[in-house]
Amino acid sequence: MSKRKMLSAIGKESNVKKNNKHWSLGLIESMNDPKHIYKETDRVVVIKDKYPKAKIHYLMLPRDNIESIHKLNKKHISILKEFGSILQDIIEENKDVTLKAGFHAVPSMQRLHMHIISTDMVSPCLRTKIHWNSFTTDFFIPYEDVLRKIEQNGHIEVMSTDLHKSLLATKLKCNKCSYVPRNMPQLRKHLAKHVQYGVLNTLWNFT
């Protein structure tokens, strides 16, 4: 290999390592960036999702390096209960919207993080079927279920690959009615109508 090719290969490898490092530490970087922080305590940080899938989308993380829900055990019950306490504060602060909280069964990033997301699911970042199904099927494990399983069993079972793929391939369906769209553009247009209807209902009730 020539010196030029060798240097080029080293450069490419360095870029890959740099990108991998950024991906794995993305949430940690956001935790330490004041502009992303929504709320924090000594043990927990709530950040704004960089690519929100709804009008409100936060991520709640422990300061301790817990890799994922599959690393949780009974010694983490206290931190999970603190998650629940902070979640209630966030719900109180956002009474005009419906929020749900939970974890992805197969997390896309290493640091444990709980999604707190509004059910409108209206966002320019909501683009794919996988995005939708990761929040509207059993791929999304509610906070209460995770806490209960840790209290009772001390662990969260790993989802099988077949079930994982099946859930993310589930046929699209509105999370507020029986509408079944053919594709994501149709679903996004339909979801916007739900939001408009909700605003009108609020105005009518107010008057």
pLDDT attached to residue 196: 79
- Catalytic residue numbers read 113
Percent of the chain with pLDDT over 90: 76
Q: Average model confidence (pLDDT) for the chain?
A: 87
Task: Report pLDDT digits (tens) over 87-126.
Answer: 999 999 999 999 999 999 999 887 999 999 999 999 999 9
Residue 113 and residue 45: Cα distance in Å, rounded? 10
Q: What is the 3-state secondary structure (H, E, C) of 140-207?
A: EEEHHHHHHHHHHHCCCCCCCHHHHHHHHCCCCCCCCCCCCCCCHHHHHHHHHHHHHHHHHHHHHHHC
Top pLDDT among 156 and 5 is at 156
Cα–chain center distance at 190: 22
With a cut of 50, say whether residue 152 has pLDDT above it: yes
Confidence of residue 13 (pLDDT cuts 50, 70, 90): very low
Asked if 58 and 73 touch (Cβ cutoff 8 Å), the reply is no
**For residue range 40-75, what is the model confidence (pLDDT) as tens digits?**
999 999 999 999 999 999 999 999 999 999 999 999
User: Higher pLDDT residue, 86 or 15?
Assistant: 86
Amino acid, single-letter form, for residue 90: I
55: number of Cβ within 10 Å: 15
Dist. CA 169–CA 137, nearest whole Å: 10
d(CA 64, CA 111): 9
What sign does the dihedral 83-88-94-97 (CA atoms) show? positive
Assess whether pLDDT exceeds 90 at residue 30: no
| pLDDT of 155 strictly over 70 | yes
Per-residue confidence (pLDDT) for residue 127, from 0 to 100:
95
Report the pLDDT averaged over residues 159-167. 97
What domains appear along the chain, each with residue ranges and CATH number?
31-172 (3.30.428.10)
Is the pLDDT at 9 greater than 90? The verdict is no
